[in-house]
Structure 1
Amino acid sequence: MIATQYLISLGHRRIAVITGPTNSQSSQARLSGYMATLQKSGISADPHLIKVGDYVSDKAYKAACNLLEMREQDRPTAIFAFNDLVAINVYRAARQHGISLPEQLSIIGFDDVYPAASMCPSLTTIRQPFDLIARQCINLILEAREGKVEQNYFIFPTQLVERESCVSPARP
């Protein structure tokens, strides 16, 4: 929700997503948040702007190419990549299609992996609390060993990390 709301606050209305696997809980939650945020903002979801990337380089790259090969008036002004690896492949596809970042296309990722800050332009992303996630995983393992697992689905707080890859769209 944070990523989509941020892009909307910049003025984007044609926001595409490249998801992870369709059976992934995190991917489903991000897609639900994207759809709910669009609806809350009065923006109709365009099914042509929703692509499955599976968190895999080749599939993410092909999904990005598919979005960038749309007619200019149909092409997204921003892409929410459901993880930073997908975002890296969007950068690659944009370069190969002659689309300048962020002037012609804003990109936001998810995870805040190490290379995100070093990319050019540096990647705006959503940071996950990996230390908190790791501690919870260890607790789950210990609880499972003792036969006391009470909960296996958690929602962790995230944080928007604003960098250079998102700007207001040149065209609405």
Structure 2
Amino acid sequence: MVSRRRPTMKDVAEHANVSISTVSYVLNDSGPVAAERRNRVLDAIRLLDYSPNESARSLKRRSASTVAMVVPDLTNQFFAMVAEGVHRAASAVDVLVVLVLPDATELPEESQAKLLRSQRVDGVIYLSGTGSMPAAIYDLARSGPVVLVDEQIPGRDLPAVVCDSRRGGREVAAHVLAQDHRRLAVVGGPPALWTAQQRLAGYREAFAGAGIDPDSVPVFAGDYRQESGYAAATEILSRPESERPTALLCANDLMAIGAMQCLRDNGLSVPGDMSVAGFDDQPISSMLTPALTSVRQPAYDMGHRAARVLFDLLEGREPDTTGPLPAEVRIRDSVGPPKEL
């Protein structure tokens, strides 16, 4: 069941047919309001069950408030850049950020929620690594806003800041296909994760557009970690050479790096023996040999926008969640024509 959205000052203003500033005057007793308008505002407040958000008031006073960011880990540079964007946006308005690393703390879900409640956080920015959000964390949305980053979770009516992963997947696959590759394979992310689903859907659209049956392209299970890319490449190399793909599309850069390491360990070259493409365009990707073709996600901008969305919600404003941020293919040296051409 999806919980009802918390009413904002804008909702009160619209229901009472007055300006937001009039609602603010009534709530704070900070300006003259005609009796008839004041009564309309008070009626709207009672009807909508609106309660002023103290954290919003602290933001407007520029006094310190506290928000939490839940992130799977910081060894993944993409996560770290998202966290930096959140921190910079928060610092600009004197808001503290409590960083919660579930894998590092090894706390059960309920303990994580208790930790956040004990810190009295005003809202949560949530970056999932699994495709689901713990019920205990979701319960925090009843007392403050929760904003998702690079994720949409079915059944959870929460604001989200995302990148156009589907388009990115489609365009990087189209680039690989343009090099005349027809034997392909995919190392996918966690199947339940929205980003992994979007990237795979984009790959499949490109395959179909090139006249390749998407169901004929094998998809190897990955978890966005380097080790799973290595494991997938190991499985691929266990097959006869004639059955191996000439190009490997990896749903993130860490898995692509793991696959490239496996190919090198087995005496094969990239892209000479097999082309490899990634996703995320982490800073290290352009420094590899060969440099990794990838899809750039504006990780810092995603974190910064997520923080601004959270602050808008805390201040009773309509947040800016207009459309996904763009994904951009960065063409480098890890993709070339297949060996037999």
Pick from 145, 158, 163 the counterpart of residue 327 of structure 2.
158
Whether the 8 Å contact between 1:16 and 1:50 is mirrored in structure 2 is: yes
Alignment partner, residue 20 of structure 1: 189
Alignment of 1:78-89 (within 5 A): 78-89=247-258
Output the TM-score relative to the length of structure 1: 0.89
For 2:322 and 2:227, locate their aligned partners in 1 and report how far apart those are by CA, in whole Å.
Answer: 29
- Partner AA of 2:249 in structure 1: F
Does residue 1:129 correspond to 2:295, yes or no? no
TM-superposition CA deviations, 1:41-91 (whole Å, max 9, x none): 101235562111110222222112112222111111111111110111011
State which drifts further: 39-48 or 107-116: 39-48
Identify the residue that residue 270 of structure 2 maps to in structure 1: 101
Mark the runs of 5 or more structure 2 residues left unpaired by the alignment.
1-169
Give distance in 1, aligned partners of 2:239 and 2:318. 48
Task: Write the distance in 1 (CA, Å) between the matches of 2:317 and 2:190.
Answer: 30
C-alpha displacement at 1:97, in angstroms?
A: 2.1
Amino acid corresponding to residue 25 of structure 1 in structure 2? W
Structure 1 residues 79 and 154, CA gap change in structure 2 (3 angstroms): farther
Aligned positions, number:
172
Determine the C-alpha separation between the residues in 2 that align with 1:24 and 1:145.
Answer: 28
Aligned-partner Cα distance in 2 for 1:80–1:48: 11
1:106 CA drift (Å)? 0.5
| Partner Cα separation in structure 2 for residue 153 and residue 62 of structure 1 | 38
Picking from 81, 98, 111, the partner of 2:280 is: 111
Give yes or no for contact 1:49–1:76 (8 Å, CA) kept in 2: no
What does residue 234 of structure 2 align with?
65
Return the offset for 1:145. 3.0
Residue 145 of structure 1 corresponds to which residue in structure 2? 314
1:148 deviation in Å?
6.4
Q: Is the 8 A contact 2:189 2:251 kept in 1?
A: yes
In 2: Cα distance, 1:151 partner to 1:25 partner: 21
CA RMSD of aligned residues (A): 2.1
Look at both structures and tell me which one has the larger radius of gyration over its CA atoms: 2
Taking a change above 3 Å as real, the CA distance of residues 131 and 73 of structure 1, as seen in their structure-2 partners, is: same
* Whole-Å separation in 1 of the counterparts to 2:213 and 2:320: 35
- AA partner of residue 209 (structure 2): K
Name whichever of 47-56 and 107-116 sits farther off.
47-56
Larger RCO, structure (CA 8 Å, separation 6 or more):
1
Deviates more, 1:73-82 or 1:59-68: 59-68
Q: 137-146 or 149-158: which moved more?
A: 149-158
1:97-151 C-alpha deviation (Å, 9 max, x unpaired): 2221111111111111111111111111111122321222112322443566778
| Higher mean C-alpha deviation, range 99-108 or range 49-58 | 49-58
Match of 1:52 in 2: 221
| CA 1:23–1:140: 2 relative to 1, 3 Å | farther
The one-letter code sitting in structure 2 at the alignment partner of 1:122 is A
Distance 1:71 1:44 in 2: 22
Q: TM-score with structure 2 length normalisation?
A: 0.47
